[in-house]
């Protein structure tokens, strides 16, 4: 079977339907994204033999999860009545502390995160009595560890665990309208579509349905995270008008070099022809567009300032506990002694390495002076200090 046949959309759809035993994908609209991503995988991604299998598995998981969630919803129509109230979204440029902030806040028992295992294997709905022992946990953990075998050092760049909160891009992958694909694969046509053209309404509607699905089994106050939300905050607020936004800020130049290194590392899992300069050019375009958009939206009042908490990376690194206390105060939530202790224990057990030696500006091929001029307005607006380039 050649590459075109392997990623032919209807063949993927038919295979998913056969494996799940269902054929209802819910609301239309996702087919456009599927067509675009599969075409780009064939013509642009430069997939290796392993990459073909990885990409095929990604397409099938997205389709099968969508089928499963819709089938479960059809069998349990009251899921549609589940309320999603004041969800907390951590957003911001990638590599600005969003992950460690997410992981720390997730230690609060009063907050509910979509864990990696239940995002990757959402059916049947998770249950409180087996939430810590569900066999799907081990199954997903084995897949994560396989990634480390394929690319040693992968988990240092982007720590993952079956029991840790997953990003929203993994959820919206089933709408085939997600930044996850253009990070994992070199697919510039899809990337441009997602950034500049794609209608995000369907993605966020599916996102809500997915959260309803999970909380129908294990309820809680949602804590969510993805840098990708930065590019489409208007669509996020249209779906979740009472959302609380925690936006992280960091010098965009070190962000770009870090993102480029991470993207290059991820793409090595599926291609032998990735380059950091290619990844850096994409990061430069995406990040500048994202920052311009969020400034415009916030300046226009589209995003009520009362619903936003700004967190500077430098402040968070200097004193994470003062930052977290400030977040709780702004969100009008109680930071209990138990939650505080859990967070401190987690940070002590996961100190990180600061990303040392994993990326340098010189690898990007970008002009530092030109890029600095491009992002100065953003830095001035939010008081983001200029960092020494690595």
**What was the pLDDT predicted at 158?**
65
Q: Do the Cβ atoms of 116 and 162 come closer than 8 Å?
A: yes
Distance CA 278, CA 275 (A): 5
DSSP labels, 121-144: S--SPP-GGGTTT-HHHHHHHHHH
**What was the pLDDT predicted at 286?**
96
Q: Do the Cβ atoms of 103 and 350 come closer than 8 Å?
A: yes
Length reported for the chain: 390
What CATH class has 3-382? alpha beta
Strand partners, 249: 312
Distance CA 263, CA 251 (A): 18
**What was the pLDDT predicted at 351?**
79
Strand partners, 92: 248
Whose tokens are 């590459």? That residue is 3
Contact partners, residue 90, CB within 8 Å, separation at least 6: 98, 101, 102, 105, 223, 224, 225, 226, 246, 248
* Signed CA dihedral, 130, 224, 255, 317: sign only: negative
* Element (DSSP H or E) covering residue 92: strand 88-92
Distance CA 288, CA 303 (A): 19
HSE-CB for 339 with a 13 A CA cutoff: 18
**What was the pLDDT predicted at 355?**
54
pTM: 0.95
**Where are the domains positioned within the chain?**
3-382
Strand pairing class (88-92; 244-249): parallel
Residue-wise pLDDT tens for the chain (390 aa)? 799 999 999 999 999 999 999 999 999 999 999 999 999 999 999 999 999 999 999 999 999 999 999 999 999 999 999 999 999 999 999 989 999 999 999 999 999 999 999 999 999 999 999 999 999 999 999 988 887 777 676 666 667 899 999 999 999 999 999 999 999 999 999 999 999 999 999 999 999 999 999 999 999 999 999 999 999 999 999 999 999 999 999 999 999 999 999 999 899 989 999 999 999 999 999 999 999 999 999 999 989 999 999 999 999 999 999 999 999 999 999 999 999 999 999 999 987 655 556 679 999 999 999 999 999 999 999 999 999 998
Q: Give residue-wise pLDDT tens across range 259-278.
A: 999 999 899 989 999 999 99
Distance CA 154, CA 68 (A): 30
Q: Give residue-wise pLDDT tens across range 221-248.
A: 999 999 999 999 999 999 999 999 999 9
């Amino acid at each position: 079977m050649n590459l075109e046949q392997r990623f032919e959309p209807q063949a993927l759809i038919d295979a998913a339907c056969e494996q799940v035993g269902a054929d209802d994908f819910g609301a239309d609209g996702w087919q456009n994204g599927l067509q675009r991503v599969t075409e780009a995988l064939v013509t642009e991604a430069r997939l290796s033999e392993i990459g073909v299998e990885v990409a095929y598995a990604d397409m099938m998981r997205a389709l099968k999860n969508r089928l499963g969630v819709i089938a479960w919803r059809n069998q349990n129509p009251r899921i549609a009545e589940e309320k999603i109230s004041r969800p907390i979204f951590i957003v911001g440029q990638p590599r600005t502390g969003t992950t460690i902030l997410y992981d720390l806040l997730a230690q609060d028992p009063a907050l509910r995160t979509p864990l990696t295992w239940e995002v990757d294997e959402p059916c049947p709905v998770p249950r409180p009595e087996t939430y810590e022992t569900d066999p799907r946990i081990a199954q997903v953990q084995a897949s994560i560890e396989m990634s480390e075998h394929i690319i040693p050092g992968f988990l240092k760049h982007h720590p993952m665990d079956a029991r840790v909160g997953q990003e929203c891009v993994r959820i919206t992958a089933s709408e085939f309208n997600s930044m996850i694909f253009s990070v994992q694969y070199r697919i510039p046509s899809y990337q441009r579509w997602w950034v500049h053209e794609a209608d995000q309404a369907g993605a966020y509607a599916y996102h809500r349905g997915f959260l309803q699905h999970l909380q129908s089994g294990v309820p809680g106050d949602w804590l969510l995270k993805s840098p990708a939300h930065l590019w489409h905050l208007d669509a996020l607020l249209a779906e979740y008008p009472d959302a609380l936004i925690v936006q992280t800020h960091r010098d965009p130049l070190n962000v770009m070099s870090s993102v480029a290194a991470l993207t290059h590392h991820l793409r090595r899992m599926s291609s032998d022809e990735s380059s950091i300069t290619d990844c850096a050019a994409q990061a430069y375009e995406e990040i500048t567009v994202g920052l311009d958009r969020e400034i415009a939206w916030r300046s226009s009042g589209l995003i009520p300032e009362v619903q936003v908490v700004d967190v500077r990376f430098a402040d968070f690194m200097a004193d994470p506990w003062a930052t977290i206390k400030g977040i709780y105060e702004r969100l009008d939530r109680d930071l209990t002694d138990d939650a505080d202790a859990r967070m401190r224990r987690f940070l002590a057990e996961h100190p990180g390495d600061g990303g040392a030696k994993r990326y340098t500006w010189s690898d990007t091929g970008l002009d530092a002076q030109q890029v600095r001029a491009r992002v100065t307005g953003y830095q001035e607006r939010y008081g983001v200090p200029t960092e020494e380039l690595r």
